[in-house]
Amino acid sequence: MLKIGCHLSISKGLLNASKETVSINGNTFQFFSRNPQGFKQKEFDEKDYQEFLKYNQENNLFPPLCHAPYTLNCCSKDERVRELAKMILEADLKRMSSYGYFMYNMHPGAHVGQGVDEGIELIANTLNDVVKPDYNGLILLELMAGKGSDIGRSFQEIRAILDKLILKDKFGVCLDTCHVFAAGYDIVNDLDGVLIEFDKIIGLDKLKALHLNDSKMPFKSFKDRHAPLGQGYIGLDTFIKIINHKALKKLPMYLETPHETLLGYKEEIAFLKENYLE
């Protein structure tokens, strides 16, 4: 079964997001742990959470994926920014633990000047400080498009972070189709080759989720601009190949495509389901 959904707001609660997911024929969704541009987080609502669990079970939904705020930067040059990132991560992972088992996706960070190696070291240090053996979730590092000084723009950079982590089993990787394409991995002409390389460098067993986005910007543009499926440089044929690839077809997939209303996601989900081979 295709595990598919889209990014949704949980400002009206988790239950509401699950209901929206069902309304667009999805079976999972992604949400921000807190305001993506800031750090504000809603109070934990036990009643909403219990109703959400019950609803998900009745409707056969898969657990959602939680996304960290964009402003979180574990490898800033500024120690105060790093300390803040650590506090946010600690609080988010605690929240994730109270949710039970959710995967938590994060952008590795931007080194803003002090260099990639130092950045990788700082990211790993922060994660090693924050992630404890009793944490019952899985943290995903997202592959990035390579804009500015973002870390995680190549399989090698992700590998370098993973190598420095102590509790390796608590970490996985999220592959964003727009990001890897913009970063110079040719999923359009050589999906197999890209996945073979991923396997060699990171290991396909580490791949735990996909973000399905077309790209407004061309191959190797190093720009992170999502487009609706079929309205960018990746194209619908490649998405059909991606959802049916034997190394990918069982993974949960999340649309982060720009749409004004849920209808856009509903249409994309319908298209993907029509073209998915069980």
* Residues making contact with Fe ion (CB under 5 A): 142, 176, 211
Is residue 210 within 8 Å of 253, Cβ to Cβ?
A: yes
Say how many C-beta atoms besides its own lie within 10 A of residue 87's C-beta: 13
Assess 142 for contact with Zn ion (CB under 5 A): no
Reported in sequence order, the residue ranges of the chain that DSSP labels E, i.e. its strands, are 4-6, 30-32, 65-67, 103-106, 109-110, 138-142, 150-151, 171-176, 207-212, 214-215, 226-227, 253-255
Q: By CB under 5 A, which span of 10-18, 53-61, 87-95, 223-231 interacts with Zn ion? A: 223-231
Residue with Cβ nearer Fe ion (142 or 150)? 142
Residue 152's region, left for phi above 0, alpha for psi from -120 to 50, else beta, is: left
Stretch touching Zn ion by CB under 5 A, among 31-39, 72-80, 94-102, 220-228: 220-228
Minimal distance, residue 76 CB to Zn ion, in Å = 20
Nearer to Zn ion, 15 or 151 (CB): 151
224 in contact with Zn ion (CB under 5 A): yes
**Interaction pattern, residues 166-205, with Zn ion; x per rule: CB under 5 A:** ----------------------------------------
Distance between CA atoms of residues 212 and 5, nearest Å: 10
The count of chain residues that interact with Zn ion, using the rule CB under 5 A, is 1
The amino acid at 52: F
Of the ranges 146-154, 200-208, 217-225, 243-251, which one interacts with Zn ion (CB under 5 A)? 217-225
Q: What mask of x and - would describe binding to Zn ion in positions 78 to 117, judged by CB under 5 A?
A: ----------------------------------------
- Residue closer to Zn ion (CB basis): 26 or 146: 146
Does position 157 interact with Zn ion (CB under 5 A)? The reply is no
Between 153 and 211, CB nearer to Fe ion? 211
> Please, which contacts does 242-246 make with residues 24 or more away whose CB atoms are closer than 8 Å?
242/177, 242/187, 242/191, 242/210, 242/212, 243/2, 243/212, 243/272, 243/275, 243/276, 244/275, 244/276, 244/277, 245/191, 245/195
Minimum gap (Å) between residue 153 Cβ and Fe ion: 13
Least distance to Zn ion, CB of residue 233, Å: 14
Length of the chain: 278
User: Binding partner of residue 211 among Fe ion, Zn ion, none, CB under 5 to 8 Å per kind?
Assistant: Fe ion
Q: How far is CA 75 from CA 16, 125, 127, 227, 239, in A?
A: 35, 9, 11, 29, 33
Q: How far is the CB of 55 from Zn ion (least distance, A)?
A: 29
Name which of 93, 98, 162 is nearest 131 in CA terms.
Answer: 93
Note the residues at the interface with Zn ion (CB under 5 A). 224
